[in-house]
């Protein structure tokens, strides 16, 4: 039994969704590095998406304390300074020393957790521990007991690495045993991102059937085949309510499902994705916080926001052609300003109509008559092809408009 209640288990068993946020931990394997200061800020901001219910909806994986002294200190600071905003987790390998170090790094923080990574497949167990999968999973129960004995106020979770290539009945049996020993959550990881959606759903269904209703399963699904989001939705459809994600999808190799995409879909389409039953939230997420958080993550890590990044990309809310300019609601699945707080922006490109040119000019303080609009449109198209760049920035267009206004015979 735990010294305090496990709010993550309670949320999942009540049918609420818990986000296991991995950008500070698995994101480091994408060759990024978040400073301790930024991790604290990101943990607080991620929790603030859910208001005072942050700890019940967010597990923030703060890092891997065994990496070095600096990493240990970063995790310790998140545990101390983001307490109350999220449930803070330290991640460790399946060794006695690592488990004790992870517990120490989060000790004293409210709703603190430790996640122990244990190989579940035969090839992964042989490489990581020189044991069989069954031996590795049996040893995991001892590690859970070690952590519980070290500090029973710290919840202990177990991640079954390479679950997608492991024996499902074996995982189900040991997931039940781990829970009986004191584990809070058992994560099934598609470590190499190899699963197809149907196989992913079948895996969670089979392990759940073998493990029993008292076991809380979680997903940790990589994106090597571009299926991280699809597979996570399949896990949710199979009844999983603790789901791993990472801001901007940053994680090892091709990453994993992006936090902003998953939160957006669950907030906007909960009934279609989860079916009838209790709503997925104690407090619904504030989606207007997503763009600001992702911009700050991009600045910290160097992972760019692109024009095609879903939900928060630089293309969201932008208009450059005539019909979308006149009927914007017809060409977007939601209102970016209303849902995300992203105000619409009209951009001047080689696709511009006269209406678009006139609107951009008006934003820059110029009123164009029909003749000037046609001339400006022709100039914009010619310049875009001449420079090989579609978007014409406001400074360049303003300089052209200043010259147009002073051309003899032009309207004022």
DSSP at 155: E
Same domain? For 223 and 181 the reply is yes
Q: What predicted TM-score, i.e. pTM, was given to this entire model?
A: 0.92
Alpha-carbon separation of residue 265 from 204, 262, 342 (angstroms) = 21, 5, 17
- Tell me which of 270, 301, 332 is where a domain ends: 301
Q: Is the pLDDT of residue 241 over 50?
A: yes
Same domain? For 359 and 294 the reply is no
Same domain? For 338 and 226 the reply is no
Q: Is the pLDDT of residue 132 over 60?
A: yes
d(CA 379, CA 277) in angstroms, rounded, equals: 58
Residue 309 lies in a domain: no
Same domain? For 61 and 208 the reply is yes
Average pLDDT over residues 257-274: 96
Phi, psi of 126 (to 5 degrees): -65, -40
Structure confidence at residue 129 (pLDDT): 92
Structure confidence at residue 1 (pLDDT): 43
Closest CA to 6 of 200, 226, 162, 154: 154
Residue 116 lies in a domain: yes
Count other Cβ atoms within 10 Å, centred on residue 406.
Answer: 9
Answer whether 80's CB lies under 8 Å from 112's CB: no
Same domain? For 52 and 180 the reply is yes
Average pLDDT over residues 368-391: 94
Average pLDDT over residues 259-264: 97
User: Which band of pLDDT confidence, cut at 50, 70 and 90, is reported for residue 330?
Assistant: confident
Residue 296 lies in a domain: yes
Residue 307 lies in a domain: no
Same domain? For 343 and 241 the reply is no
For residue 406, give its domain range: 317-412
Answer whether 262's CB lies under 8 Å from 244's CB: no
Phi, psi of 23 (to 5 degrees): -65, -30
DSSP-based three-state secondary structure for 49: coil
Closest CA to 389 of 347, 353, 355: 347
Alpha-carbon separation of residue 241 from 220, 230, 237, 315, 344 (angstroms) = 12, 15, 9, 31, 34
Q: Is the pLDDT of residue 227 over 80?
A: yes
d(CA 103, CA 91) in angstroms, rounded, equals: 9
Same domain? For 290 and 355 the reply is no
Q: Is the pLDDT of residue 410 over 60?
A: no
Q: Which tokens is 240 given?
A: 């999983």
Using one digit for the tens of pLDDT, what is the confidence trace for 70-107? 999 999 999 999 999 999 999 999 999 999 999 999 99
Q: For the chain, how many structural domains are there in total? A: 2
Alpha-carbon separation of residue 234 from 240, 243, 345, 373, 392 (angstroms) = 9, 11, 35, 51, 42
Same domain? For 267 and 348 the reply is no
CATH number at residue 141: 3.20.20.70
User: Which band of pLDDT confidence, cut at 50, 70 and 90, is reported for residue 322?
Assistant: confident
Residue 312 lies in a domain: no
Same domain? For 194 and 296 the reply is yes
Same domain? For 280 and 362 the reply is no
Residue 172 lies in a domain: yes
Residue 1 lies in a domain: no
Residue 311 lies in a domain: no
Closest CA to 247 of 206, 293, 279: 293
Q: Which tokens is 299 given?
A: 């600045």
Q: Is the pLDDT of residue 153 over 50?
A: yes
Phi, psi of 232 (to 5 degrees): -65, -40
Answer whether 145's CB lies under 8 Å from 180's CB: no
Count other Cβ atoms within 10 Å, centred on residue 362.
Answer: 12
Residues 6+ apart with CB under 8 A from 389: none
Same domain? For 296 and 321 the reply is no
- Is the CA virtual torsion 142, 148, 151, 155 positive or negative? positive
Angle at 40 between CA 74 and CA 30, to 5 degrees: 65
Same domain? For 92 and 195 the reply is yes
């Amino acid at each position: 039994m735990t010294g305090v209640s496990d709010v993550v288990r309670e949320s999942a068993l009540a049918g609420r969704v818990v986000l296991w946020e991995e950008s500070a931990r698995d994101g480091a394997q994408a060759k990024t590095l978040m400073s301790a200061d930024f991790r604290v800020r990101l943990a607080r901001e991620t929790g603030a998406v859910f208001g005072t219910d942050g700890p019940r909806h967010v597990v923030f994986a703060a890092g891997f304390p065994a990496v070095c002294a600096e990493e240990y200190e970063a995790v310790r600071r998140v545990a101390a300074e983001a307490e109350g905003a999220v449930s803070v987790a330290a991640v460790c390998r399946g060794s006695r020393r690592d488990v004790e170090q992870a517990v120490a790094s989060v000790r004293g923080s409210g709703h603190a957790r430790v996640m122990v990574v244990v190989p579940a497949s035969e090839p992964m167990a042989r490489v990581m521990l020189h044991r069989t999968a069954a031996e590795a999973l049996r040893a995991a129960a001892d590690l859970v007991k070690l952590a519980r004995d070290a500090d029973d106020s710290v919840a202990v979770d177990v991640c079954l690495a390479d679950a997608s290539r492991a024996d499902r009945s074996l995982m189900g049996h040991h997931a039940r045993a781990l829970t009986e020993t004191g584990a809070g959550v058992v994560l099934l990881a598609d470590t190499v991102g190899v699963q197809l959606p149907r196989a992913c759903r079948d895996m969670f269904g089979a392990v759940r059937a073998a493990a029993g209703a008292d076991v809380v399963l979680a997903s940790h699904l990589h994106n090597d085949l571009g299926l991280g989001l699809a597979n996570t939705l399949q896990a949710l459809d199979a009844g999983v309510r603790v789901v791993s994600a990472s801001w901007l999808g940053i994680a090892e190799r091709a990453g994993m499902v992006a936090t902003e995409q998953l939160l957006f879909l669950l907030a906007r389409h909960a009934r279609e994705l989860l079916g009838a039953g209790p709503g997925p939230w104690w407090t619904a997420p504030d989606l207007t916080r997503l763009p600001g958080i992702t911009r700050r993550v991009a600045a910290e890590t160097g992972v760019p926001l692109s024009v095609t990044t879903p939900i928060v990309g630089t293309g969201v809310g932008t208009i450059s052609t005539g019909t979308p300019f006149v009927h914007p609601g017809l060409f977007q699945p939601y209102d970016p300003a209303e849902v995300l707080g992203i105000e619409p922006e009209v951009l001047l490109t080689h696709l511009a109509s006269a209406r678009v040119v006139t609107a951009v000019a008006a934003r820059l303080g110029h009123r164009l008559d029909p003749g000037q609009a046609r001339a400006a449109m022709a100039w914009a198209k010619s310049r875009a092809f001449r420079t090989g760049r579609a978007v014409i920035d406001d400074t360049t267009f303003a300089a052209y408009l200043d010259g147009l206004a002073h051309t003899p015979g032009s309207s004022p």
